[in-house]
Amino acid sequence: MRKILFLISEDWFFVSHFLPMAQAAREAGFEVVVATRVNKHHQRIAAEQCRVIPLDIERGSLAAVEVLRSMAYVFSIIRREQPAIVHCIALRMIMLGGLPAKIAGAGSLVLAPTGLGHLWTGNGTTERCLRPLVRTIVGRWLRGSRTHYLFENSDDPGEFGLDPTDPHVTIVAGAGVKPEDFPVSPEPPAPPIKLAVVARMLRSKGIAEAVEATRRARLLGAPVELDIFGAPDPSNPASIPEAELRQWSSQPGIAWRGTSNDVARVWREHHVAIFLSYYREGLPRTLTEAAACGRPIIAFDVVGCREVVRDGIEGLLVPSGDVDAAARAIVKLAADASLRAQLGAAAHRRFLERLTEDGVRQAVGDLYQRAVRPHATQQNAGP
């Protein structure tokens, strides 16, 4: 049986975003192996008939010795497993797995920069030095007749000198979600108009901006409340401390609710999704879920978010970093139930057209089949 090896840094990330791709691989006749750092989700991955290889890689380390050790470790896994496809998920695993896969003679590479993250939005010395190197590795050194790229939006391919219409480039809507898991529901009673943000509690996800925009909208007289769903990530330097989240909760109309195991219920109980991320998103799953449930969205006009939301159609896009504009958008939606209904219905239509799990599985399954075609066919397909 042909084998596909997924390389991904965290097991929770695989479970939350990439199980449909593993399912697509199985349906296409592949044995599925997942190399990841194992935390709490080994059994969930194994339940999908995937074999799990614990990945002993230091998270976030840029030390040369650790990077070389990690690459050697990945190389040993690839040589042992001899997969037909190595699927590297996110930039870190592309860096650590792409070159070892080439050297080890893996059949084909699928490189999936799910989002470009802080490396693209940060402007420190490290980020400015690393960006050109990453562009060169991803777009030139790893490029070839047996390399395929999987992006979540149409902007990111250009960062690596790739054409979104290239036959070796596939664009999918993240992992998609199932319509039956996030059904449309009528608005809850109003007032107040209830906003929700569902995200990891990272500064780059715009949590502080959502709090401030809500505060300003309330000062303008809008009867709104904001509920914040998500948990801090202490190992991430951008994590928001729990003490700060609790301090926000002491303000009128603001509440941090922690994590939710029922996001569909969150949208049943809220009128509007707000997501003021300035992180270089791939395609935010939280917006896909809100759109599936038929909720209008307020978001910053940034890469990834605008794959789901078009201004004035599925929601309101405001300039990145403009909290006043976000507050005005909140006021506008709070005052107009018919507009909320119009935008929410359009968001659900866009979800059905572009963002379902079935659509993603079909596109990824087709990609895997192309990746294992004979080499001559690959050469004729593109560069």
Q: What is the CATH number of the domain that holds 159?
A: 3.40.50.2000
| Residue tagged 């030390």 (tokens) | 63
Tokens of 159: 């960062």
316 with 332, same domain? yes
Residue type, 316: L
pLDDT of 282 reads 86
3-state secondary structure of 193: strand
| Strand stretches in the chain, DSSP E | 3-10, 31-37, 50-54, 85-89, 108-112, 147-151, 169-171, 193-198, 224-229, 254-258, 272-275, 297-300, 315-318
375 with 270, same domain? no
Contact between 276 and 301 under an 8 Å Cβ cutoff? The reply is no
pLDDT of 379 reads 42
pLDDT of 339 reads 98
34 with 11, same domain? yes
pLDDT of 203 reads 93
Hey, which residues does 316 pair with through a beta bridge? 298
Q: For the chain, how far is it from start to end, CA to CA, in angstroms?
A: 28
pLDDT of 382 reads 41
246 with 226, same domain? yes
pLDDT of 327 reads 98
Q: Which of 191, 186, 200 is nearest to 344 (CA)?
A: 186
3-state secondary structure of 32: strand
The rounded distance, in Å, linking the Cα atoms of 33 and 150 is: 19
Tokens of 130: 């690393």
Residue type, 296: P
pLDDT of 39 reads 86
pLDDT of 61 reads 57
Query: Strand 315-318's sheet: what is its strand order?
Result: 254-258, 224-229, 193-198, 272-275, 297-300, 315-318
Angle, helix 337-354 to helix 323-334, in steps of 10 degrees: 110
350 with 363, same domain? no
For residue 167, the enclosing domain spans: 3-176+357-381
DSSP structural state of residue 177 = B
123 with 184, same domain? no
Query: Which residues neighbour 94 within 8 Å (Cβ) at sequence distance 6 or greater?
Result: 88, 111, 112, 113, 137, 138, 142
pLDDT of 374 reads 67
98 with 134, same domain? yes
Query: Which residues neighbour 331 within 8 Å (Cβ) at sequence distance 6 or greater?
Result: 217, 220, 221, 222
319 with 241, same domain? yes
pLDDT of 117 reads 76
Half-sphere exposure at residue 142, Cβ-oriented, CA atoms within 13 angstroms: 34
233 with 322, same domain? yes
3-state secondary structure of 52: strand
Query: Strand 50-54's sheet: what is its strand order?
Result: 50-54, 31-37, 3-10, 85-89, 108-112, 147-151, 169-171
Beta strand pairing status for 169-171 and 254-258?
unpaired
172 with 251, same domain? no
Chain mean position to CA 307:
12
- Tens-digit pLDDT string for the chain (383 aa): 799 999 999 999 899 888 989 999 999 999 999 999 998 899 999 999 999 999 887 665 556 778 888 899 999 999 999 999 999 999 989 999 999 998 888 889 999 998 787 788 777 888 888 899 999 999 999 999 899 999 999 999 999 999 999 999 999 988 889 999 999 999 999 999 999 999 999 999 999 999 999 999 999 999 999 999 999 988 788 899 999 999 999 999 999 999 999 999 999 999 999 999 988 888 999 999 999 999 999 999 999 999 999 999 999 999 999 999 999 999 999 999 999 999 999 999 999 999 999 999 999 999 999 998 865 344 434 43
300 with 366, same domain? no
The rounded distance, in Å, linking the Cα atoms of 64 and 69 is: 9
User: Taking the alpha carbons of 230, 231, 237, 242 in that order, is the dihedral positive or negative?
Assistant: positive
3-state secondary structure of 233: coil
94 with 200, same domain? no
What is the number of domains present in the chain?
Answer: 2
- The pTM of the full predicted model, rounded to 2 decimals, is 0.86
